[in-house]
Each structure stands twice: as C-alpha cells, then as structure tokens.
Structure 1
Amino acid sequence: MSSVLYDAQGPRAKRRNAVFTVVFLLALAALLWWVFSTLNDKGQLEWALWKPFFTGTEAWTTYIWPGLQNTLKAAVLAVIIALPLGAVLGIARLSDHAWVRVPAGIVVEFFRAIPVLVLMIFGLALFAEYTNVSSDDRPLYAVVTGLVLYNASVLAEIVRAGILSLPKGQSEAAMAIGLRKNQLMRLVLLPQAVTAMLPAIVSQLVVIVKDTALGGAVLTFPELLASANTMSGYYGANVIASFTVVAVLFIALNFALTSFASWLEARLRRSKRSTGAVLGVEDVDDINAAEAGGPHKTDGV
C-alpha cells in the first residue's frame, strides 16, 4: 500500500531488509557474547561480587539509599528553583521593553555558554570564600547553584521557543478583543505553550538528575554515583556490579520521570480541548473587572 509519504516495499526490498535484520541481530549477539565472555574471564560475574546486592540490606542502607537521597535532594532543589526562574527569563526575553529584554538575554546567553561543571566549581569557591556555609553543606549548595544557573538558562530558551511556536493568530485575536499583554501571556499563550514545551522540559529535567553525578566526581558530593566508588572498594573491587546497579537505578528514575511527563502531557491535552465557546468583549470586560477587584458586568447593566 502506497501513500504520499511512503511507497510499499517490493520483493527485493523486503529480502534486503530481512538480510539486514539478520546481520544486525547476529552482530548484536556476537557483541553481547564477547562482553559476557570478557567479564567472565576477568572474574566480574562471580557470585561473590554480586551477592551484596541480592542477599542482605547492608549495601542498600549504607551506600545506595543515602546516595540516592542526596541525588534526589539536589535534583529536586534545582528543579524547584530553575523552572520558575527559567520561565521568568524566557518571558522577559519576549518583552517589548529593551531594558527588560536585553539584560535577560545577556544572562541567558552567558550562563548557557558556560559548562555546568565550571559553574559548580565556581559555586563551591564562592560559598567557601564569602559565606558561612559549613564544609559539609558546601558541595550540595555548589551542585544546586551550578544546576540552577545552567538549566534555568536552557529552560528559558525552551519557554521562549514554545511561546514563539504558537500561531500569531492567537495573539492577534486576543489583542483584538481587548486583552492586555500580561493577560495575553497568562490566559492564552502560556497555557497552550506548556503542553508543547513539556517533552523538552522533561528532557532537561532528566539532564538535571544525571548532572548531579558531576558533583560526586569533582566536588565530593555524596550522591548515587559517588557511593558506587566507595561501595566497590568495600566489597572487594566489584566495580562492574556496583556501577551496574547504580546505572539501573538511574535508568529506573529517569524512566519514571518521563512516564509521568507523558501521562501529564496527555492529561493536559485532554483538559484543554476547546468547548466551542466564543470569548466576547463583555467577557473580557468581566475579566478586567475581576482582576481590578471591581463589580462584574451583568445583563442589562
């Protein structure tokens, strides 16, 4: 069956694709066998190295769970601060006033161009030199600072692009019935843009979760990945086993985040379906009166 975008495969194309599929599966099987045999020859698949994760709770309560708590703490704090800050910066870049638009653009471009690790190191030095934050808390503060500055700048660009992607007719129609600029942004553009931006926002949230590992690698922040190093040394250099468990936890955490975002996006799309109602000038006057705290217009008034 053919369409404008797709031509049905003929017998030769089907045979060629079948051959490519078989070759790929054989190559993948050979690669997996090579990895398995290499690990087995190095003794990395011995039960003694994997036993701590399947028998007893010491590895989980002493190393994995505290590391996971610190990872989630840093990620949640960064998300809570970066999301609203990114939204404000993104909207500010769309301002009609140059004194708002230009500084916001400078801030976004500056912090978006600096590697997040550099921002974390700078934050650690800043808290050590100019604040009374204890040495135990400085790594957490530095990690959150770096994540917020970088990801807020990236989220600002996502917000700006999401708003600009909406049809111009939305803005023109809203202004034609008398909505002010802030009402246009709050009542028309942002509610529609959020749904369009959600996949990109979730991708950036996944990046935030993963980038917490930079704090463990450089700033001695005791997050999940850093706990794997300590754990592998304690249990007899079971590096492969420890990092495999940590990798599975990161995959599960990010998969849960993306699954929740997919559910939320579908729910938002269902809730924002048009009811067919038309917003007239009288309705806009009611909105303006409500925001000003004055009486609403009614029929016959």
Structure 2
Amino acid sequence: MSGGSRVLFDAPGPRARRRIRIATALSVVAGLALVALALRQFADNGQLAAERWRPFGTWPMWRYLLDGLRATAEAAVVSIALSMAAGIVLALGRLSPHRWIRLPSAAYVEVVRTIPALLLVYIVLFALPKYGLDLPLFWKLVVPLSVSNAAAFAEVFRAGIRSVERGQLEAGLAVGLTRGRAMRMIVLPQAARRVLPSLVSQSAGLLKDTSLGFVVSYSELLYSGKVLANYNHLLIQTYLVVALVYLVINAALSKAARTLEERNARGAGRGRAQRLRRKPSLRERGGARA
C-alpha cells in the first residue's frame, strides 16, 4: 500500500462497485419505507400535532439542549486527544523491533478491541470505587472511552505508518537520525496526513459513544434529552430532536472525512503525475549513456 488513498483497504472493482450501488439503493428504499411507516403511526397517534412541537421553538428548551451538547463536545474532545496520544504510543509499540515492547502493545490492542465500551464504563463506575478509586463524574465517562478508542486509533496509526515507504525511515537513519527521531520527524507526519480521513471517522464514532454518559448520569446531550423528556412529557419529540442534532453533527464529520479523503487522493494523483513527468524516457536515457 503506497498511495495515500489506499491506506486501509483496496479500491473496489467494477463488480464490487455495482453490488455496493445495488445494496445502497435497497437500503435507501427500505429506510424511506420505514420512515413513511413511522410518520404514519405518529400521525395516527397525534404525535405530529403542532402543539406537541411548539415548545422546541423556544430558546429555554434549546439552551438546555445546547448545554448538553457542550458537555458532549467537552467529553469527546478530551477523549479524542487522550485516545490519539495513546494510539500513537501503541502503534509505535506494535512496530517496535523489541519484543518486550511489541508484545504488550499488541496484547492491549487485541484484548481491548473485543471489550464493549459499555463494559468499561461499568468497570469504572462500579468496580474501581470498591478499590478506593472513585473518579469524578466527567472522568467516569472519559477514561473508559479513551481506553476503548485508544486501541482503534492505534490500528489506524499503525496502518498509516506501514503505508509510508520504508525508504523514508532508512533515509532518516542514513543522515544520522535515531530511529525515534526519524519516526517522529519523517514518518509520523506523512502517516497522519494519509490516515486523517480515518481519524475523523473514528472521532465521529467516539462522539456517538459519549451517549454512554447517561449510564454515569453525566449531563451530555442524550442524558439532557432524557431529563427534558421527563419534564415536558414529550418523549418522542424530545428524542427525535436529539437524534436530529446527532445526525447533523455526524453528517458534518462524515462530509469532512470524505472531503479529506478526496483531497488526499487528488494529492496522490498529482504526485504520481509529477513523478512520471520527471522520469526520463528510454531515448533520453540511451542518449545520456551514449
């Protein structure tokens, strides 16, 4: 895998693209049918009446939900930062030539990837306090999310590092850099650029995982929606509005990931074209030898 656009998977062929288009079309049709059925059921039960939606046009309602969204963003940003930092360390550990570093890093990634994030939340919430480690409410959500997503980020960074041509590292070693400095100054910046779309996609998934905050009673967006629904008795309307907020945010992040991926693909294409233009023809090489 040498191109920035083929870091984690190979591009699908004609048959695979056709199957993807067919599956996408069927999924869209099935989704629209379910939405139409749900709207009909809501209408039959009076859930679409204007008076049930009018409270969501007031500022106090939105201010409360925006406070929950702010708490969600704070937990997500801190979790992403910690997960990425740990992911880089784990990725470098898995690629280390030393077994005593490589094996524990690989064990962490393989084990943690199989454990649901919800189970880690329960461990932090119920198990750790029995041993005298009772974290603040914010960290009861951030710590398990960071532990869980560090393994996923580690695999993303590892794929990015392995996609960088080995000659880049060897060139750094040849000019006198240590392996660590060559990795930090030469390989990691290129790897980060190549996997940036995947990092954004993984961050979007982590943002959705912050909804586990309702388990620890952390006032993120979903928990705020739950409290609000208990107050205004508009259960369906409140959760639909919360779902719409999540949809808008994750759609924006997904769009950003696609844009970055397309930009990387265009950059890789321009780089190949420039290399081909610089490559001398057979006639030129023959003339140079003559």
TM-score, with structure 2 as normaliser: 0.74
Q: Distance in 1 between matches of 2:32 and 2:203?
A: 34
Q: Distance in 2 between matches of 1:132 and 1:170?
A: 46
| Structure 2 CA distance for aligned equivalents of residues 91 and 158 of structure 1 | 12
The reply to whether residue 52 of structure 1 matches residue 55 of structure 2 is yes
| Equivalent residue runs for 1:188-207 within 5 Å | 188-207=186-205
8 Å CA contact retained: 1:124, 1:141? no
Q: Is 2:37 the counterpart of 1:40?
A: no
Counterpart residue number, 1:243? 239
Distance 2:210 2:88 in 1: 22
Query: Greater CA radius of gyration, 1 or 2?
Result: 1
> What letter matches 1:116 in structure 2?
A
Gaps of 5+ in 1: 8-16, 277-301
The SS at the match of 1:131 is coil
Contact in 2 for aligned 1:123/1:141 (Cα 8 Å): no
Of residues 230, 234, 256, the one that matches 1:233 is 230
Amino acid at match of 1:143: L
Deviations 1:165-222 (A, max 9, x none): 2333434444455543123312332122112211221111111110111221x22222
Q: Are the aligned partners of 1:195 and 1:268 in contact in 2 as well (CA < 8 Å)?
A: no
Please state how far the C-alpha of 1:67 moved relative to its aligned partner: 1.5
Matched, 1:167 2:165: yes
User: Which runs of structure 2 are paired with 1:24-35 in the superposition (5 Å)?
Assistant: 31-35=34-38
Aligned counterpart, 1:77: 78
CA positional deviation for 1:49? 1.3
Distance change (3 Å), C-alpha of 1:198 and 1:24: closer
- Shift, 1:126, TM fit: 4.9
- What's the counterpart of residue 257 of structure 1? 253
1:86, 1:159 within 8 Å by CA — same for their partners in 2? yes
| 1-structure distance, mates of 2:110, 2:51 | 51
Q: Is the 8 A contact 1:108 1:153 kept in 2?
A: yes
Partner SS, residue 198 of structure 2: helix
Corresponding residue of 1:281: none
* Deviation, structure 1 residue 254: 2.0
Q: Give the distance between the partners of 1:24 and 1:171, measured in 2 at CA.
A: 45
Q: Which has the higher contact order (CA 8 A, sep 6+)?
A: 2
Q: What amino acid does structure 2 have at the position aligned with 1:250?
A: Y
Q: 1:197 to 1:233 in 2, by over 3 A?
A: same
Cα 1:230–1:95, aligned 2, differ >3 Å: closer, same or farther? same
Name the amino acid aligned to 1:207: G
By how many angstroms is 1:82 displaced?
Answer: 1.0
Q: Which amino acid is 1:91 matched to?
A: L
Higher alpha-carbon deviation: 181-190 or 117-126: 181-190
How much has 1:83 moved relative to structure 2? 0.8
SS in 2 for 1:246: helix
- Per the alignment, in what secondary structure is the counterpart of residue 78 of structure 1? helix
> Equivalent pairs: percent with the same residue?
35
Partner of 1:296: none
How well do the aligned residues superpose, as a CA RMSD in angstroms?
3.2
Pairwise CA distance, 1:53:
0.8
Q: In 2 relative to 1, CA 79–67 (structure 1 residues): closer, same or farther, beyond 3 Å?
A: same
User: What one-letter code is carried by the residue in structure 1 that aligns with 2:224?
Assistant: S
One-letter amino acid of the structure 2 residue matched with residue 115 of structure 1:
P
Whole-angstrom distance in 2 between the partners of 1:25 and 1:148:
34
The answer to whether the 8 Å contact 2:91/2:158 transfers is yes
Cα contact 2:84–2:150 (8 A) shared by 1: yes
Which consecutive unaligned segments of at least 5 residues does structure 2 have? Answer: 1-12, 16-20, 276-290
> Which residue of structure 2 lines up, in the alignment, with residue 97 of structure 1?
98
SS in 2 for 1:86: helix
Q: 2 CA distance for matches of 1:25 and 1:109?
A: 35
Distance 2:255 2:247 in 1: 12
Alignment of 1:147-226 (within 5 A): 147-216=145-214, 218-226=215-223
- The one-letter amino acid of 2:227's match is T
1:227-281 per-residue CA deviation (whole Å, 9 max, x = no partner) reads 2222223223x2221111111111222233344455666489869x8799xxxxx
1:69 Cα shift? 1.9
- Aligned to 2:48, the other structure's residue is in SS state coil
Alignment of 1:276-291 (within 5 A): none
Q: Is the 8 A contact 1:162 1:196 kept in 2?
A: yes
